[in-house]
Structure 1
Amino acid sequence: MPWECGIDGCGERFGTPEDLVVHQSSDHERRECKVCGVVVPDGYLAIRHAFNEHSRAEYVRAYGASSEEVREREEIKDLVEDEADLQTVVERLGGEAVQS
């Protein structure tokens, strides 16, 4: 299954979820969390931060997200976590990225 970057219409495809997360962390701008202000890599790691560190209600209030948008992001998070070796991602990024 190809893994496609969905950040700002990027559309670049990757053979593994690890390659996708590294791409998102390395080739896209970091984003400031609208809930707490921490700056995180965009894409999966931003979703991971939002749902591991904040409640759904905080996320919905800060981002104006619909329940459908929340479910979509939760599905992305679960899919990546089911398929990816996140330790490999951390090692490839120099140990800096998978902080939430």
Structure 2
Amino acid sequence: MAWECGIEDCGAVYDTPEDAIVHQTNEHERRECKVCGTVVPDGYLAIRHAFSEHTRAEYVRAYGASAQEVRDREEVRDAIEAEADLNAVVERLNGDAHPS
């Protein structure tokens, strides 16, 4: 399965979800969470932050998101978390490991 960066019109494609997350973190601007003000990497990590730190209602109010937009983002999160080794992502982002 190929993993495409969904940020704006980027379209970069990767063989693993880990590579896509590292790309999003390193190659795209960070965003300020409209709910709490925390600055987070765009893409998957922003979605993960939004739905692990805040309620759906807080997200909808802050972003003006529709129910479908919330479901779409939750599906992205779930697909990545079903496939990705998030510990490996953290290690790579911390410089402890390198892609093979």
Shorter-chain TM-score: what band? over 0.9
Give runs of ≥4 in structure 1 deviating > 3 Å.
none
1:27-38 correspondence runs (5 A)? 27-38=27-38
TM-score using structure 1 length: 0.94
Alignment partner, residue 4 of structure 1: 4
Larger radius of gyration: 2
CA distance in 1, matches of 2:56, 2:77: 14
**Shift of residue 9, structure 1, vs aligned partner:** 1.2
Higher RCO, Cα 8 Å, sep 6+: 1
Alignment partner, residue 93 of structure 2: 93
Letter in 2 for 1:28: H
RMSD, aligned α-carbons? 0.8
CA distance in 2, matches of 1:87, 1:57: 29
CA distance in 2, matches of 1:20, 1:78: 15
Size of the alignment, in residue pairs?
95
Q: Secondary structure of 1:8's partner? A: coil
Alignment partner, residue 78 of structure 2: 78
Q: Secondary structure of 1:65's partner? A: coil
